[in-house]
A and B are shown apart, each in its own frame.
Chain A
């Protein structure tokens, strides 16, 4: 009679050990252990006393989605790096100076730089901006440029630091769970506030130090994309010994390749004086990203230049269909472009969409155009990569293609492809000799004498002083000569409508 009760009691005891409340308690204890291991816990009340932090390092940042060839590592920039953080505000200022890698590499993202480039990126609560100098925009002669779309990415960087991850885990309370994965203790929890919807996983090593932090977020190209940051070689790197331990090396990867690789030389974990006052101009600036706007400008009969944002498209009308050059950025931009095409050229389907190259900003809207039924024309080297990444799940933020479950149709080309129906002709060429992207294509309308190009010639505003000669623009001109294209107008996919003479002036060709 007693044995069943004993067994029931034992089962209940085991169940209670594995109950959600017990797991939350385990997580809370583990978070405290990790905070103690890093030196965050101080005083008789054993409180987390790390509110501000600074660290200095050097290494590399990488231009995510800007590889020279598809499915190869993102191109690097050499950097010196100084970060100031406040977990209390929350806020972060990253003061980074980028320079060209040695030896030079091919790829996008602004490579090669004409000169070392300093960027000061700040987030403070809901506000994000870029400063001309630390504290820019607060005093005369300095500037602050709003960057509202960057606030969440920057806040995520703050909470991804080892101290930040543990603080975020602590704030998650009962929603933080602890488990063992591959020999590591792993604390999993949802982020809150403006980062709601993102789940963070914190991997602890045997010393209870944060060894890795992983989050997943949607990317228009890669879908559910993991950001993994690995931390190693914890040290007290302060000039003033504080018994606070920070990783002396960290590597962050996105899409499987590094986006940041830093060796930390110095920290100030002694709660230094770092402040993040929001300039008045930033407080008054719109904080939500501006609505997507597409403007259709007729370049020639049956040819429309679709502008209104940072990335443009060109719609070419054929007798029974439309060919669209570029479906950029993301679903939102692509759907707005498609809508404009339908209004501008009614009752004709978009049969083809020509992708100029594989960089993510030019590739991000392609899935929406494929969902619309357009056949994708791209360089042959892109096809395996597109097929690979388009098979990845888009569960975090299902896009148009994920919702329609259509299989994209991809047609490829190597040197030349011609679309024609007797009324109009669109020629597509491979741009040879580009250091920007190996798969770069050009569009050319021989009857209209219009050239369509992306990234290799980005004309400045009319009347702006001429900048340095850009090698990619010289290469574009050489390709126009090589292909014997009779170009009058150029419709750059960044910038403004120009003529061939404008290109000649930009590259100082008589």
Chain B
């Protein structure tokens, strides 16, 4: 019994060593890719293609930071870790500046996120809330973004097809407001600039009650440097914002594994909302 017990304790530690070694190799490969030159397509632009699922934690904990689920609350227990992380998330000083007549609305939406957040109930995050993709496929005429939603987000696996062939936008009045809108990309130097209009006002720009109008115009900038991809979106919405809001940049690391695959998001079936006892979500 005693030996079995010892063996059972030893086994995970051997596995742990293997995991650590694999992680070290992964980190080393990623470091090499970061340090190496940015691969380019035949037309000379940076090749954005690849699996970009190595997230880097920013200064403010985001909903897509999987580590947040493992963190202790201020009292050292796991009891209130979500509440603590929400306070940290909300401490981000980078906030969109809404017109004064909307200040109370933003607060109301934020403080009643469990009932007001459109992303609850298995609907999409939309642009720009869905953030950067987990995988990019690049062709001479289009980009294909594949998104995998994080554990706490209910919007599931998503895709975007973004023409980069120089076509103009469809006139706004001819577009139905949709969650992903009409996105068209072009290169500005080594930066891919994706311009999106025609978005539904049912989505939010981001968590914390950041709603928008149908006239929202989103400009995403995607830049690759070696094994690092930087994504940043600027939102213009003169109907509700005093000035354009540039969201915090998100940095992703290339997964160097040639066999890297995207995880499959679990199907979202909403069963929890009526059990929630608080108004604000985490």
Q: A residues bordering B, Cβ < 8 Å?
A: 36, 39, 41-44, 46-47, 49-52, 86, 88-89, 133-136, 138-139, 142, 239-244, 270-275, 277
How distant is B172 from chain A, measured CB to nearest CB, in Å? 24
How distant is A317 from chain B, measured CB to nearest CB, in Å? 54
Using Cβ atoms and an 8 Å threshold, which residues of chain A touch B61?
43
Q: Are B111 and A240 in touch, CB under 8 angstroms?
A: yes
How distant is B237 from chain A, measured CB to nearest CB, in Å? 15
| CA of A115 to CA of B39, assembled, Å | 72
CB of B280 closer than 8 Å to a CB of A? yes
Report B99-150 residues with CB < 8 Å from chain A CB. Answer: 99-101, 103, 106-107, 110-111
Q: Given A138-B242, A242-B87, A89–B93 Cβ distance below 8 Å?
A: yes
CB of B279 closer than 8 Å to a CB of A? yes
B21-29, B77-85, B177-185 - the one binding chain A: B77-85
Q: Are A243 and B99 in touch, CB under 8 angstroms?
A: no
Q: Are B88 and A242 in touch, CB under 8 angstroms?
A: no
Using Cβ atoms and an 8 Å threshold, which residues of chain B touch A272?
90, 107, 110-111
| CA of A47 to CA of B88, assembled, Å | 8
Name the residue on B nearest A131 (C-beta). Answer: B100
Q: In the complex, which of the residues A36, A138, A142, A239 contacts B74, with contact meaning CB atoms closer than 8 Å? A: A36
Smallest CB-CB A-B distances: 7 pairs: A135-B100, A271-B90, A88-B93, A51-B91, A42-B84, A44-B71, A49-B88
Q: Are A43 and B85 in touch, CB under 8 angstroms?
A: yes
CB of B208 closer than 8 Å to a CB of A? yes
How distant is A134 from chain B, measured CB to nearest CB, in Å? 6
| CA of A49 to CA of B111, assembled, Å | 18
| CA of A44 to CA of B78, assembled, Å | 11
CB of B86 closer than 8 Å to a CB of A? yes
How distant is A13 from chain B, measured CB to nearest CB, in Å? 33
* Most chain B beta-carbon contacts within 10 A, residue among A44, A241, A243: A44
CB of B10 closer than 8 Å to a CB of A? no
CB of B226 closer than 8 Å to a CB of A? no
Q: Given A138-B242, A277-B242, A271–B91 Cβ distance below 8 Å?
A: yes
Name the residue on B nearest A244 (C-beta). Answer: B87
Using Cβ atoms and an 8 Å threshold, which residues of chain B touch A244?
87
Using Cβ atoms and an 8 Å threshold, which residues of chain B touch A240?
111, 278-280
Q: Are B74 and A273 in touch, CB under 8 angstroms?
A: no
Using Cβ atoms and an 8 Å threshold, which residues of chain B touch A42?
73-74, 84-85, 87-88
Using Cβ atoms and an 8 Å threshold, which residues of chain B touch A133?
100
| CA of A242 to CA of B85, assembled, Å | 11
Q: Are A39 and B74 in touch, CB under 8 angstroms?
A: yes
Q: B residues bordering A, Cβ < 8 Å?
A: 61, 71-75, 80, 83-88, 90-93, 95, 97-101, 103, 106-107, 110-111, 208-209, 242-243, 278-280
How distant is A10 from chain B, measured CB to nearest CB, in Å? 38
> Is chain B's binding surface mostly helix, strand, loop or mixed?
loop
Q: Are B88 and A138 in touch, CB under 8 angstroms?
A: no
Q: In the complex, which of the residues A36, A39, A51, A275 contacts B97, with contact meaning CB atoms closer than 8 Å? A: A275
| CA of A39 to CA of B243, assembled, Å | 34
| CA of A50 to CA of B99, assembled, Å | 24
Using Cβ atoms and an 8 Å threshold, which residues of chain B touch A274?
103
Q: List 13 A-B contacts (CB under 8 A).
A: A43-B71, A44-B71, A46-B74, A47-B88, A240-B111, A240-B278, A240-B280, A244-B87, A270-B87, A270-B280, A273-B95, A273-B107, A273-B208
Name the residue on B nearest A271 (C-beta). Answer: B90
* Most chain B beta-carbon contacts within 10 A, residue among A49, A89, A139: A49
Q: In the complex, which of the residues A50, A239, A241, A275 contacts B91, with contact meaning CB atoms closer than 8 Å? A: A50
Name the residue on A nearest B86 (C-beta). Answer: A270
Using Cβ atoms and an 8 Å threshold, which residues of chain B touch A89?
93
Using Cβ atoms and an 8 Å threshold, which residues of chain A touch B72?
44
How distant is A452 from chain B, measured CB to nearest CB, in Å? 45
Q: Are A138 and B80 in touch, CB under 8 angstroms?
A: no
| CA of A272 to CA of B243, assembled, Å | 20
Name the residue on B nearest A89 (C-beta). Answer: B93
| CA of A311 to CA of B101, assembled, Å | 38
Q: Are B97 and A277 in touch, CB under 8 angstroms?
A: yes
Q: Are B100 and A142 in touch, CB under 8 angstroms?
A: yes
How distant is B93 from chain A, measured CB to nearest CB, in Å? 4
Using Cβ atoms and an 8 Å threshold, which residues of chain B touch A49?
84, 87-88, 91
Using Cβ atoms and an 8 Å threshold, which residues of chain A touch B106?
273
Q: Are B83 and A243 in touch, CB under 8 angstroms?
A: yes
How distant is A221 from chain B, measured CB to nearest CB, in Å? 38
Q: In the complex, which of the residues A41, A46, A139 contacts B100, with contact meaning CB atoms closer than 8 Å? A: A139
Using Cβ atoms and an 8 Å threshold, which residues of chain A touch B279?
240
| CA of A169 to CA of B88, assembled, Å | 21
Using Cβ atoms and an 8 Å threshold, which residues of chain A touch B101?
135, 139
Q: Are B242 and A51 in touch, CB under 8 angstroms?
A: no
How distant is A281 from chain B, measured CB to nearest CB, in Å? 14
Q: Given A51-B91, A138-B242, A275–B103 Cβ distance below 8 Å?
A: yes
Using Cβ atoms and an 8 Å threshold, which residues of chain A touch B98?
275
Name the residue on B nearest A48 (C-beta). Answer: B91
Q: Are B280 and A138 in touch, CB under 8 angstroms?
A: no
Using Cβ atoms and an 8 Å threshold, which residues of chain B touch A142?
100
